[in-house]
Amino acid sequence: MQNIGHIVRVKNKSHVDIVAKLAREIWEQHFTPIIGAAQVEYMLEKFQSSRAISSQLDEGWEYYISIRENDYVGYIALVPGISDGKIQLSKFYVNKPDRGSGAGSQLLHFTEETSRERGFKTVWLTVNRFNTNAIEWYLRRGFLVTDEVKKDIGGGFYMDDFIMEKKMW
């Protein structure tokens, strides 16, 4: 296995800009075939731009970047639940050249450990129902499909997702 590097919490504008740039690279490459270029551009601006990420941080979201040998290989965003004992893994992306390197497993392990340390009983996420590789990856790591949701996100676009959960204890 390659050196999978380390994970740092996003705390400043420079880190926010790195995440937004990484999001653009990953989304344009990975999601364009699934949801189309117009929806990718819309979602990047609405949810993954520097402005959107900064706003999410102000609302209590936590972003983390995976770094290996001075390269930014992926990122996650965690959204702690208020009282339901669950934490949302809202963003979980690894750059294509780094898939299979252990970076995704490291980010998931970090998420699970963080969840346990804080007393969350469940990690949950949404995943596009046509993102079959990601769904299979989550299933192999103990997540289960618990529901589905189709959400109007504006601009004539919808998120058509499965909700997946993994019990921590």
User: What's the mean pLDDT in 146-169?
Assistant: 95
Say if residue 2's pLDDT is above 80: no
Say if residue 21's pLDDT is above 60: yes
Query: Is there a domain that residue 85 lies in?
Result: yes
- pTM for the full model? 0.92
Query: Is there a domain that residue 84 lies in?
Result: yes
Say if residue 37's pLDDT is above 80: yes
> What phi, psi does 64 have (nearest 5°)?
-135, 140
Query: Is there a domain that residue 61 lies in?
Result: yes
pLDDT, residue 80, reads: 86
Domain count, the chain: 1
Report yes or no: 10 and 19 within 8 Å, Cβ to Cβ. Answer: yes
DSSP single-letter state for residue 82: S
User: What's the mean pLDDT in 83-109?
Assistant: 88
Residue span of the structural domain in which 122 resides: 6-167
Query: Is there a domain that residue 125 lies in?
Result: yes
Query: Is there a domain that residue 127 lies in?
Result: yes
Q: Which residue, 160, 137, 120, is CA-closest to 34?
A: 160
Query: Is there a domain that residue 106 lies in?
Result: yes
Query: Is there a domain that residue 1 lies in?
Result: no
The model's confidence at residue 45, banded by pLDDT at 50, 70 and 90, is very high
DSSP single-letter state for residue 46: I
- pLDDT tens by residue, 108-156: 999 999 999 999 999 999 999 999 999 999 999 999 999 999 999 999 9
The CATH number of residue 117's host domain is: 3.40.630.30
| Whole-angstrom distance, CA of residue 72 vs CA of residue 155 | 31
Say if residue 61's pLDDT is above 80: yes
Say if residue 1's pLDDT is above 60: no
Report yes or no: 123 and 168 within 8 Å, Cβ to Cβ. Answer: yes
Query: Is there a domain that residue 19 lies in?
Result: yes
Q: What is the mean pLDDT of the chain?
A: 92
Tokens of residue 119, six digits: 């007393």
Q: Which helix (H) or strand (E) holds 53?
A: helix 50-58
